[in-house]
Every structure is written in C-alpha cells, then in structure tokens.
Chains A and B, each alone.
Chain A
Amino acid sequence: MKTLADLKKIREKAQEDMKLRGGNVRIKIVVGMGTSGIAMGAREVMKTFLEEIAARNLTDVMVTQTGEKGLSSMEPVVDLIEEGKPKVTYGNMNPDKVKKVVIEHIVNGRVVSDYVVATGN
C-alpha cells in the first residue's frame, strides 16, 4: 500500500537531484485533450508520455493537458515547447509515435519531421 511516507523519500531524492542539475523545465509537452482528441486516442498518448518520462527518468520535462485548438482532423495533437525555439506541433499521434518523439526529439534533440503538422506560434 502506498503511503504519504513514500512521498517523503521521493521528495528527498528529488531534492538531491535538483541540487545537481537545477530545477529547470527544459521541454514542455502539451497534449490536446478536447472532445475529438479524446475520441481519437489522446488519453493513450498522454499515458505513453508519462510512462516514457518515468521509464527514462526524464526530470526536466513537464506535461500538461489542454483543450482543442482547431486541428480536429489531425487529433491527437501534441505541442513541444522549448525555450528559445519555435513551437513544434505533432499530429495524428499514437503511442508508438510518442515513443519515437521522446527518443528523437526530447532525448536527442532532433525534430521528427514526418509527424510535424505545424511549427512556430
């Protein structure tokens, strides 16, 4: 059974971690979670990002959910936002594509152009 005491341990570990590398968020992931996105599988896309973050121990990434942005025909849609770089929007996402984006874009810094549906703001 998970208890709040487990969280204390996590907190101590995370604080050590942050001392070493600073608490900066390097990449922000925004998953479109409007009605049509949900119907097209956005929840599984979100879940896969969370699994990959946990499995690869990515501590400088933030994930949020947001409403629709008028790209209904390309749902599920995901934005990747990095400081000082144009926003990259990936469309028609699924769990396999998410895994590829995590390895290529988030870990190795290479945009996966095949899945990009829009860039910039």
Chain B
Amino acid sequence: MQDISLHLLDIIENSVRAEAKSIKVRVINNVNKNRLRIIVEDDGAGMDAYTLQKAQDPFYTSKEERVKKVGLGIPLFKQNAELVGGSFKMASEPGFGTVLTVDFTLDHIDRMPLGNLKDTLLGVIIGHQDVDFFIHLIYRDRAAEQCFHFDTKAIREELGDIPLTYPDVIEYIDQSLLEGIQNTNMEDV
C-alpha cells in the first residue's frame, strides 16, 4: 500500500466482511499535537482476545476459503504507523464490534501520505449501500478547528428508493466529499 487512504480502504472492507451495519470513520489532522489520527469503529461481529492478537500476525487470516494463509492488511498498516513513531491499537468485543485507532506523527519525514481519501470514501459508500457510514473529518491547528460530517443514513432517508449508484447521486456524494476534504485541509496531508 502506498498511502494511508488505501490502508483505510482495506480496514473498512474488513469491517464490511465482519457484517458491520454501521461504520464510523474519523480522520483527525491535529497540527497542535503533530498527529494524524485515523479511527474506524464498526458494529460487526468483533473478535475475541485470541483472534484480535492473531489479526496482527501476518501469517494469520480469517478467510477460511483462502489457500494461502496470509493476511497482510492489518500487520502492514501497523508496521507503517509504528515505523514513523506512531501507534496502532485495536479493541474488540465479540458480538459488538471493533474499534481501530491508528496514529501517525504528522511531520515525520518517512510518514506515508494520506493519499486520495475521497476515492476511498466514495467507493465504500457506494459499494456498500446497506451499510451506514458516518464520516468525520477534523482539522485542528492553533488558530482554528474545521469539521466535516457526512452521514449516509441521512442521505438515504432523503433519497427513498433511489439507489446511491444513480448517476446524479454519485456526483453529489463525490462533490460533497471533495468540499469536505478541501475545507478540512486533507488534500495534501
């Protein structure tokens, strides 16, 4: 993975596979604390303590149908955060869901870029119409705080039986996310 937004996509797909119906994604760019924080919280199947620990091991996968028993998604994300003075935490409760918190040191010279957050979010929102996404982008520095909130449940209520893949809806979501990303200075992080 070349950037954080691709790792984020991978993590969200894990939540969907765990049959989450609601996924909260927070990206917090905190210049004061020199920290870029990603939080993904789902209400999926969750994991017991053993599975939670194994999920961080590259030679483990929950995908039983798979021939090659490797799952690199989580270990690589963890490694990429820890290599630049960040941290990676996962907490889970079977039957209730999983919360993942990943921190990156904002000004570390080897930190991978945030990348194309918009395409990650657009893809998961439209590609999983039966999942509610709550997106929260926050930018903080000494002078100001900017927030962007996007809630697909509210959008679906407004749309009724019109699918999110309807052409004008795709453009609406794309444009909304773009504005939110620009307003919270997440374009070139």
A14 and B162 contacting across the interface, CB-CB below 8 Å: yes
List the one stretch of B104-112, B134-142, B165-173 in contact with chain A: B165-173
Q: Which residues of B contact A13 (CB under 8 A)?
A: 168
How many B residues have CB within 8 A of the partner chain? 45
Q: Which residues of A contact B154 (CB under 8 A)?
A: 4
Report the bound CA distance from A2 to B170 in whole Å: 13
Interface membership of B84, Cβ < 8 A: no
Q: Which residues of A contact B126 (CB under 8 A)?
A: 50, 63
List the one stretch of A51-59, A79-87, A96-104, A111-119 in contact with chain B: A51-59
Contacting residues of chain B (99-132) with chain A, CB-CB under 8 angstroms: 116, 119-120, 122-124, 126-129
Interface size classification for chain A: 35 or more
Given contacts A46-B127, A50-B123, contact A38 B66 (CB under 8 A): no
Report the bound CA distance from A44 to B6 in whole Å: 11
Interface membership of B63, Cβ < 8 A: yes
A46 and B155 contacting across the interface, CB-CB below 8 Å: no
B7 CB → nearest A CB, Å: 9
Interface membership of A62, Cβ < 8 A: yes
Contacting residues of chain A (32-80) with chain B, CB-CB under 8 angstroms: 33-35, 38-39, 43-44, 46-47, 50, 53-59, 61-65, 67-68, 70, 72
Residue of A15, A35, A43, A59 near B167 (CB, 8 A) is: A59
Interface membership of B145, Cβ < 8 A: no
Interface membership of B67, Cβ < 8 A: yes
Report the bound CA distance from A53 to B179 in whole Å: 21
In the complex, the chain B residue whose C-beta lies closest to that of A14 is: B162
Interface membership of A8, Cβ < 8 A: yes
B13 and A33 contacting across the interface, CB-CB below 8 Å: yes
Given contacts A10-B159, A10-B168, A47-B119, contact A67 B128 (CB under 8 A): no
Given contacts A2-B179, A54-B167, A54-B171, contact A70 B65 (CB under 8 A): yes
Residue of B73, B127, B165 near A61 (CB, 8 A) is: B165
Q: Which residues of B contact A64 (CB under 8 A)?
A: 127-129
Contacting residues of chain A (1-44) with chain B, CB-CB under 8 angstroms: 1-2, 4, 6-8, 10-11, 13-15, 18, 23, 31, 33-35, 38-39, 43-44
Interface membership of B189, Cβ < 8 A: no
Q: Which residues of B contact A70 (CB under 8 A)?
A: 65-67
Q: Which residues of A contact B13 (CB under 8 A)?
A: 33-34, 38, 65, 67
B50 CB → nearest A CB, Å: 21
Q: Which residues of B contact A35 (CB under 8 A)?
A: 10, 71-73
